[in-house]
Amino acid sequence: MLTVLSGEKKTINFSLVMKALSNAPSLIIDCANYVDPHKLFSYVIEEELNNVYVINAEAIYRLRDTLFNVHIFARNINAKAIYVTTIGELFSYD
């Protein structure tokens, strides 16, 4: 499943985490540093967030390592969906 979300950071965070909750268990690979599930405590029960896993991949080398191992992460949590935020903001040493 590929989902494209646009807008301001607050809107994307809410939309993405709510979508991940509806497809839980799910994995979010956050390249844009947009995802903060803690900001949704007033909208969702904390226990619901236990099935949404977030991996920060703020640098290109971290994304590479995450992608090499994403099949293991997904299998371990029995993920129904994997979401990746935009990679245009990744930090690269080159």
Q: DSSP state, 32? A: S
- Contacts of 39-43 with CB under 8 Å at 24 or more apart are 39/10, 39/13, 39/14, 40/13, 40/14, 43/14, 43/18
**Structure confidence at residue 85 as a pLDDT band (50, 70, 90):** confident
Average pLDDT over residues 45-55: 88
pLDDT value, residue 76: 95
Average pLDDT over residues 69-73: 93
What is the Cα–Cα distance from 48 to 37, expressed in whole angstroms? 10
pLDDT at 45 over 70: yes
Tokens 């226990």 belong to which residue? 47
pLDDT value, residue 31: 85
Is the CB of residue 31 less than 8 Å from the CB of residue 89? yes
